[in-house]
Amino acid sequence: MTWFVLRKFAVLLAIVLVTAVLVWWLLAGVPKSTVQGDFSSWLGHLLVGNFGLSQAGEAIGPMLGARLAVTLPLALLAMLLGTAVGSGIGWLAALAPGSVADRALTGLSDLGLATPNFWLGMMLAMAFASGLHWLPPGGFVPWQQGPLAALASLVLPAMALAAPAAAALAQQVRSTLADAASAPAVLGAQVRGATRRDAVRRSRGRALLTFGSPLARQFAAVVAGTVVVENVFYLPGLGRLILDAVSTRDLATLRGGLLVLVLMSAGIVFLIEIAFAWLDPRRRAGVPE
């Protein structure tokens, strides 16, 4: 388990370093750069939390923190919804592989994968905001003005982000559970005296412990989707800050925003994989992969 954690942490550091190099290199030749000095000095400032100044003279670090307070809860809420819905659909589909219900739920998942999140966001706003008036159509109420109102501002964009993730997870959960029900370990457990129901349950439990990587990949996709969805719903998050920085050619802000977005995604992917590894008793016991 210790070596697994160290290996994953090394991957996290490599991702952040490579991202920093690419962000600097790709934007180095763009005119009107607001970043002074070379890469090594910029990287040194980042290590102490100094992202420099924006084109307007505003400190980038506090600005990124304020935007992160919108994007991080949005991504977490979307992933919570996507995991709950996707796992439920996948579990229902796996109850009777090949049945009408299985085919219908699989078709629903295919539809979810094919639906762009920005289009779905607009449809949700028309239905639940403009039509039913249940939720705000856009904008964001600051957390300090009312946590419930702030959370309500994130529900529709989170639903738009969650739908593709739920569809992908549903198909993966269905496949994992169906394969686990017919695994050789099930027959072996029955030979040793276990009932088929108990054998299938244990086999599926072990299979779901390997679900950390697919879940982490979907979270990374959700974080990437915030860049578009935040602009659809006019949310003051990192995604909107990044696109605003592109339009104003504010390279210092753009570099900082991209780096923090990747760091957030890679950091939570790291935590998900570590959590699933810890839940696996074989991993905790040091059994080789």
Domains of the chain in start order, with CATH, are 13-284 (1.10.3720.10)
Average pLDDT, the chain: 81
Q: Tokens 């763009």 map to which residue? A: 30
Helix axes 117-124, 147-181, angle to 10 degrees: 130
Chain centroid to Cα 59, Å, comes to 27
Contact 145, 68 (CB under 8 A): no
Asked if the model's pLDDT at residue 20 lies above 60, the reply is yes
Higher pLDDT, 70 or 214: 70
Asked if the model's pLDDT at residue 35 lies above 50, the reply is no
Residue 53 has phi, psi (to 5 degrees) of -115, 145
**Burial per residue of 79-92, b for 16 or more beta-carbon CB atoms within 10 angstroms, e otherwise:** bebbbebbbebbbb
Find the mean pLDDT for residues 239-264: 87
Alpha carbon of 184 to those of 116, 169, 203: distances in Å? 39, 24, 9
Rg (CA), the chain: 22
Find the mean pLDDT for residues 226-235: 90
Enter the pTM of the model: 0.82
252 CB contacts (<8 Å, ≥6 apart)?
Answer: 33, 34, 35, 51, 52, 53, 54, 55, 60
Asked if the model's pLDDT at residue 76 lies above 70, the reply is yes
Q: What is the model's pLDDT at position 236? A: 92
- Rounded Cα gap, residues 162 and 88, in angstroms: 14
Contact 122, 199 (CB under 8 A): no
Tell me which residue of 246, 236, 253 sits closest to 54, measured CA to CA: 253
Structure tokens of 77? 């809420």
Share of the chain above pLDDT 90, in %: 16
Q: What is the model's pLDDT at position 182? A: 67
Higher pLDDT, 26 or 274: 274
78 CB contacts (<8 Å, ≥6 apart)?
Answer: 157, 158, 159, 161, 162, 165, 222, 225
Q: Tokens 């457990």 map to which residue? A: 189
Rounded to the nearest 5 percent, the helix, strand and coil shares of the chain are: 80, 0, 20
Give the tens place of pLDDT for each residue, 109-158. 888 888 888 888 888 888 888 888 888 888 888 999 989 999 999 999 99
